[in-house]
Every structure is written in structure tokens, then in C-alpha cells.
Structure 1
């Protein structure tokens, strides 16, 4: 080999060493993906092309198609009458379905809004909420209906058997089947977007949405059956009254059942995702699932085997205290997450990367809400910048917490730089520490200069003077130097006297 050829190839080897020493963009993306960290999108790539390359987009499309299929199959199974050997099984019917849906929505809509309100520090994206709600309403109800029906047929006893056999499926099968069906979506979300599960509140909110959706469809089935049974049975209460009686029991008194049960699994998954211990990551979700199934089993047992005072005792001294305990737990978690955000942002204040006022302003829900309210009256750009800065600061705090816990590797440092740069770029336009009142729009009328169009200026005395409504006629006598278009001055110069007729006298003299 000649010297010239070796000299020409030497820079190539040096370039390869340089490339090996640096980290390329694909390597950065792989490192971020390995830790579950999001990568910034390339704005130069068109939106349709980004969607086609996004795996979450295709997962969402497939899941939506599955939701539609399960909902149609469930509709065909429960709404029309079913012909079976030996007779006909009446369905809900098209008349009872919309009535039952309206009563079921009275509970489902406010309950879902409460769960969405609780997810305030770092709320999930809208499509995550919709996917979770759709899973509980479509997939979980369809799968539970098939498995529970099959299990009930296997546990039933033909002939003169045990009269308590009818409750076996509700006590021993339905709790495990339904909690597994509702909680499956939580495991999928934990796999796809574990970085967004930053607290126990995230698990409670997503689990509560799945449980509320499941209860929504299940209540439609129960309300519709009660309505149809009362309509087909002679001598019973009116159909609407029968539906309302069941609505009071399921929709008002025990509305918290399914969301409360599934919340146990959500808490277990959240604990597992925020822990570095492999044992905790395995035991916590399993413990959450068993707790949800046990609570569901106890609820069904009480509803099936107790009546009267015993049932009221269990409701007042067991069920309601449990619900109050969960509410207190959620409120405490809100304050705990605020303290966590403040403590983690203080780390960046100590090194001079954030101002001293940011931790307190960005960790209080009242201050954050007030900042959004002030930005709302400053224009859409200020509002959008405020929302983005709050979200970036919250993500930065939780990222710092993950780095302290050892849940992410050095890829977290790259995401940290991106978030800090985003906060610096948004600071000028965002409202961070609101003071005083918001810039409300003025509702006062603007005073117009001059008289209305088409009218002469007001003149005194006259109809358009003080208290007048129409332009005054021009005065015949004006002081010297006053133009005809100007108003007459007040005082003695404004007083005009008519001529006196010396021949005038009272009539008859």
C-alpha cells in the first residue's frame, strides 16, 4: 500500500472514532425509549407522516375498532329478544335503552368529572382518558358478560338444589372476572406510557375512569331489565317507577362500588412503577388486584345474603367509612404531590437554573389556577405559554424525582436539558406569579366627541340644552363675536326680552 493511500484513509479512521465518541440522534431516541422518556417531535416532518410513524396512533386505531366490535356484539346480545329452545328470552328493547342510558349517565358523568378534576398536577392527555373510559364501557363489560354467564351456567344446579346457588357466580366468579377485565387497560397503559404514571393519583384517576365506565354500561343493563320486566308483568309497579327505585339503590346509594374497587389496583400499579425494587414491582400490582377482588366480593356478598338492618349496618359502618378514607387519601396525595414538586424544583434553584419564586408558585394549585385565570384575559398566546410552562415545570420535577429514585439512567439528563430550555423560552410570555386582579375587559361605554350625526350642537336654553332631547333652534340675538353655530353663553347676555306693546290692556276696559 502506498503512502498516499494510507494518508487518504487516515482521516476516515479518525472520523469513525469521532462518531463512536459522540451519541447520534437515533441513539438518543433509543435511550429515551428505553427509559420511557418522550422524544421531541421534529416540526419539519408533516403531521400526517408523524402520525403514520407513531405506534400509539396505530394502537389507538386498533383499540377503537375493538371497542366498536365489542359494543355491537353486546348490543346484539342484550337488546333484541333471543330465541332459545323452549321459548324466548326478552331483551332490553329499543324503548327502554335510551331511558336507562339517561339515568345511568346521571351518575357516570359527574363521577368521571370528579376523577378528571383530581388529576390536576400532571393530567393525562385526552386520548388516554377516552381510551380508558372506552375500555371499561365496551371491552370490560362484554368480556365480563360472557365469562359470568358461562360461569353461572357451570355453577347452577338443575332441579331442587341449593337455593343459594344463584349467588355463587356473583360472589366467587364476578369479582375476579370483572376486576381483571377493568384492570387490563391499566396494565397496557403502564407498559406504553409508564413515564406518565408519576403518582398514586394517576393510578386512582385511570382506574376510577375504567370503573365508572363499567358501572355506566352495567347500570344501563340493570335499569333496562327492570323497566322491561315491569312493562311485561301485569299488576307490577309502573315501568318508570321500577327503574327509578333501582336507580336510587345503584345510582345514588352504591354508585361508588366499581370505581372504588378498581382504584385499589391502580394504587398498586402506581406503587410498582415508582419503586426500584423488583419485589415491589411484582407484589404491589398483585396485592392491588386481590384487594379490589376482595372488596368486590364483600360487596356482592352483602347485597346477596343480607337484608334489612344487617345490610344497613354494613353500609353505614363499613362501606361509607371506606369511601371517606379513599377521599381523604386522595386529598392528602394532592398536598403530597405539591410538596414533592416544590422540593424537586428547589434543587434547580440551588444551582441557579430556576428563579427562587418558581418552586412555590408552580407547586400550589391555587397559584397555578390563578395564573391560568390571569393569562386567559391576556390573549391566547399568553394562555398557551402559561399552560405549557406549568406542564414543563411539573414534568421536570417528576423527572428529577425519577432520577433521584434511580428509575432512569443518564437519558434523564438529556430530557432535563430540553425541559429547562423550554421553560426559559416560555418564561417571557407565561404568567408565573400572578399579582392583583386579572386584566378584565372594560364594559364602560365610550364617550363620543361632539353631537350625534345629523344634529346641530346643543344650545341653551332649548330642548337640547340641560335635560333636552332635540337640537335647539338658532337664537336670533347673539352676543357680538359669537358665531351662529356656537351655543349662547349663560348669564345676563343670554337673557332675551320681547317687545312691549304700549296699547295693550286687559280686555273689557
Structure 2
């Protein structure tokens, strides 16, 4: 078992929250430069993909596709945000992931898939098979690699926000949701254009069929594929720094599984008239159910980790006795935030939410350290998190203590096996009976 340094008994920083002095950095290393360059790249990708999709669908088809494709997005984003409630990541990571999927990854996929399909059509003896080969071989490799790039970037450059499997699932799922959003605009807009040429309308139209397959039956398809890559990166995040081979092979294995599942899904149409429904029922739905159970189980395990890892900080005086229980219960957390909002207003609610997030990160940090998987900056990071808790304690502690009292399970009261003092054990005895 790893040994830990003694806990400080006073706040490690006397002049404010953790952070320390700013280090000198070159102009290209400054945060606003990096954010500006990334935002510019995503904006340019968005403009190009917008022009390409509009060129293929037409303005009217683009608007119809946009209106229909946006319908599953709030539901999918809300589902991934729910999974991320235990240790919520910054909104900027989710915005980046969605924008990367909808703009950069979609642009890479359209350009690469089109180029590869044309190359196959001109270099093979059977040009008619180019579309099938491109959909089952080229598209899965290109699209899953493009989406995995977002997960890799967050894993490398936002490492403190990427601590486990749930973080990998959320980033991968949001990226794939953005990618599917743009792809659905293209498919639905193209289908609408086909209906305009043929004069079809209603439930028998190509638009209705495309909407049913892509939005009603399988809105989770792209997130399901890419989540496998996210799980791989999540396992890598839980690995020790010295486990270099594992930290490379596990994400790569997740990516290969995502490509394989994607290829099976795209190739289901080649299995006959009922191939799509056979793959959907026998493979996609069970895989979706299994992965859903896995991430929900992981979420519950994270809450258990919070309850188990924080008590040592109670002994050191950093937390009150009721806080580990309250921080390990989503109901108690919500009660604490509501209590702070009713007593002190919305800023207090936000303070309690920040306290909960920092305390969760502290529990995860100690859990990795206790298992011998802590990074080299364990002590520095622990002090930073403790300092963040210290500067929010006056508002957060009363709220969490209140939540612990309100949500704690009742303690059963059991009658003693011996009779009450002065009364015999005979239940028929009544001292007031004459």
C-alpha cells in the first residue's frame, strides 16, 4: 500500500485559492493564444462543412435536415451530462467535443470518404462496389479516427479533467453526437431533395424512412461506437504513468473495436433485406444495453469511492464527519445546493457545487494514489484541491451537514431483549389492572 505524506492542519495558501504565481510563458504558450487558434480552426471547419452540406442538399434541404437532425441532440447531451454528474467536467470540454465532432471530424470524414470512394471506383474492376467498400471499410476507419482525435486532445491537454472511464465515455459520446448531428443533416437533406424530384411525400417518402432509421431507431449508433474508444482512454487514465504499453494499447484496442462495430453496422444492408434489422436486434441493442449498464455501474462506483476515500480527511480536520456521506450521495448533494440557494442565493449554490466537484476530485486523486497509480504531482494536486475546499468551507460545510442530516437513513430502534426496569417479562402483566 502506498504511503502518503501527513495531512496539513492549516490551509496551504494564506492569500487565496490554489494556483501559485504565474510562470513566464512564450506567447504561443499562453492560454488565449491556444484557445484562439483552436476556435479559429473549428470555426473555419464549420464554415467549410456548412458550404459542403448545403451544396449537396440545397438550401431548402439543408433547413429541413437541420430541423430534423437537431431533435435527438438535447436528449443525448442530457444523458451524457447525467452520467457526468458525480465529477462534472468543465463545459468548455463538452463544447469543444461537440464542435470537433460536428465540424472538424465531419469535414475530415466527408473529404476523406469522397476521395477514397473515387479512388476505389477508378482503380478496381468493379466500380459498382466502390460505395459498399467505402461504407464498410473506409468510412469506419476514417470517421472513428476523426472522432477519436477529440478524445485524444482532451486526454493530452486537459488531463486533470480526464480521470476515468466516465470522463472518456462523456467526451467520446458528446463528440459522436456532434458528428451524427452533421451527418444527419446531410442524409436527411439529401433524402428531402430526392423526394422533391420524385414527388413522394408522407410516411412513404425517403425522408420519413431516413428519419425513422437514423433519428428514431438508432440515434445512439455513433455515440455507441465512439464510446468504446472513450472507455479505452478512460482505462488509460486510470493506469499508472509507468504503464506506457497499457496506456497506448488499451485506447488503440478501443478504437479498433469502435471501427469493427461501425463496419458491421454499415455493412448490415449487404446481409439481405432483413440484414439491418437482424444486426440491430441481435447486436446493436444488446451492446447498447451492456454499455449503458457498464457506465451506470461505473457512476455508482465513483460515488462509493467518494464515501470510502474522504474519511481520512475528516480525521485530519479538513472535512466534517457528515461530509463523506453527503458527498457520496447525489440526493444529498442536491439537497445541499438547494439549502445554500434558499439561505444565501444562487452564488452560494454555485459555491457548494464547486466544493462538491473539488471534493470528488480529491477522492479520486487519493484513490489512485492508494492503488499506486498517482502521477508525480500527487502532493501538489492534493494541496491545491484542499485549498479550494478551504476557501469555500464557510458556505459549503453547513449546507452539506444539513444535507447529511436530512438524507441519512433512519437508524432502527430495536427493543432490548430484557424486560423494562421494574416490570416482569410476562407480556400479559398490566400494573394498572386491578
Aligned CA distance change for structure 1 residues 258 and 350 (closer, same or farther; 3 Å)? same
Contact 2:18 2:385 in 1 (8 A): no
Q: What's the secondary structure of 1:220's corresponding residue? A: helix
Q: Which residue pairs with 2:118 in the alignment?
A: 153
Return closer, same or farther for 1:41/1:251 CA change in 2, 3 Å cut-off: farther
Q: Provide the C-alpha distance between the structure 1 equivalents of 2:287 and 2:122, rounded to a whole number of angstroms.
A: 36
**How far, CA to CA, are the matches of 1:54 and 1:347 in structure 2?**
38
Q: CA separation in 1, counterparts of 2:378 and 2:182?
A: 42
Superposition deviation, residue 288 in structure 1: 0.7
State the partner residue of 1:292. Answer: 258
- Which of 310, 317, 324 is residue 345 of structure 1 equivalent to? 310
User: Are residue 198 (structure 1) and residue 163 (structure 2) matched?
Assistant: yes
Distance 1:376 1:307, change over 3 A: farther
Give the Cα–Cα distance (whole angstroms) in 2 for the partners of residues 157 and 252 of structure 1.
Answer: 36
Deviations 1:285-324 (A, max 9, x none): 110110110000110111x303444432221121111111
Say yes or no: does 1:429 pair with 2:408: no
Question: Is the CA contact (8 Å cut-off) linking 2:76 and 2:177 kept in structure 1?
Answer: yes
CA contact (8 A) 1:358 1:432 kept: yes
Cα-to-partner distance string for 1:18-77 (whole Å, 9 max, x where unaligned): xxxxxxxxxx9xxxxxxxxx962669x9xxx99x89734322211111112112222333
Query: Following the alignment from structure 2 to structure 1, what is the Cα–Cα distance between the partners of residues 385 and 122?
Result: 63
From 319, 332, 347, give the equivalent of 1:367.
332
Aligned equivalents of 1:281, 1:389: Cα separation in 2: 31
Superposed counterparts of 1:194-273, under 5 Å: 194-233=159-198, 235-237=199-201, 241-273=205-237
Q: 1:331 aligns with which of 296, 321, 341?
A: 296
Counterpart of 1:295 in 2: which secondary structure?
helix
Q: CA deviation at 1:340?
A: 1.1
When residues 181 and 410 of structure 1 are mapped into structure 2, their CA distance, relative to the original with a 3 A threshold, is closer
Task: State the alpha-carbon separation in 1 of the partners of residues 170 and 291 from structure 2.
Answer: 12
Q: Could you tell me how far apart the structure 2 residues matched to 1:124 and 1:237 are?
A: 44
Sort the Cα spacing of 1:311 and 1:53 in 2 relative to 1 into closer, same or farther, 3 A. closer
> What is the root-mean-square deviation of aligned Cα atoms in Å?
2.8
Task: Show the 5 A alignment for 1:412-423.
Answer: 412-423=378-389
Q: TM-score, normalised by structure 2?
A: 0.82
In the TM superposition, what is the alpha-carbon distance from 1:93 to its structure 2 partner? 1.1
Assess if the C-alpha contact under 8 Å between 1:231 and 1:238 holds in 2.
no
TM-score, with length taken from structure 1: 0.70
Per the alignment, residue 34 of structure 1 pairs with none
Cα distance change, pair 159–53 in 1 and its aligned pair in 2 (3 A): closer
Deviations along 1:370-395, one digit per CA (max 9) or x if unpaired, are 21122221223431331222122112
Q: Distance in 1 between matches of 2:260 and 2:392?
A: 49
Q: Which has the larger radius of gyration?
A: 1
Confirm whether residue 61 of structure 1 aligns to residue 36 of structure 2: yes
**Alpha-carbon contact 2:225-2:262 (below 8 Å) kept:** yes
Candidates 365, 372, 376, aligned match of 1:399 = 365
Task: Report the counterpart of residue 117 of structure 1 in structure 2.
Answer: 82
- Alpha-carbon distance in structure 2 between the residues aligned to 1:411 and 1:310: 52
Partners of 2:388 and 2:50 in 1: CA distance: 48
CA deviation after TM superposition for structure 1 residue 404, in Å: 2.5
Q: Could you tell me which of 40, 46, 52 is aligned with 2:19?
A: 40
Does the residue aligned with 1:79 lie in a helix, a strand or coil?
helix
Structure 1 unmatched runs, 5+? 1-27, 29-37, 81-90, 439-509
1:364 Cα deviation after fit: 1.0
Q: Helix, strand or coil: the match of 1:92?
A: helix
* Separation of aligned partners in 2, 1:54 and 1:358: 39
Q: How does 1:350-499 map to 2 (within 5 A)?
A: 350-378=315-343, 379-408=345-374, 411-430=377-396, 431-435=399-403
- Judge conservation of contact 1:227–1:240 (CA < 8 Å) in 2: no
- The structure where helix makes up a greater share of residues is 2
1:274 aligns with 2:238: yes
Residue 142 of structure 1 aligns with which residue? 107
Aligned residues of 2:18 and 2:384 also touching (Cα < 8 A) = no
Contact 1:375 / 1:386 at 8 angstroms: preserved in 2?
Answer: yes
5+ residue gaps, structure 2, are: 1-11, 408-434
1:496 is matched with none
Counterpart contact for 1:275–1:281, Cα < 8 Å: yes
Tell me, yes or no, if the aligned pair for 1:96 and 1:227 is still in contact at 8 Å. Answer: yes
| Aligned-partner Cα distance in 2 for 1:39–1:244 | 55
Partner of 2:287: 322
The change in CA–CA distance for 1:263 and 1:333 in structure 2 (over 3 A counts) is same
- CA distance in 2 between counterparts of 1:410 and 1:99 reads 52
Deviation track 1:466-486 (CA, whole Å, cap 9, x = no partner) reads xxxxxxxxxxxxxxxxxxxxx
Contact persistence 1:268–1:288 (CA under 8 A): yes
Q: Within 2, Cα distance between the matches of 1:115 and 1:107?
A: 13
Count of residue correspondences: 385
Deviations 1:322-350 (A, max 9, x none): 11111111110111101111111123234
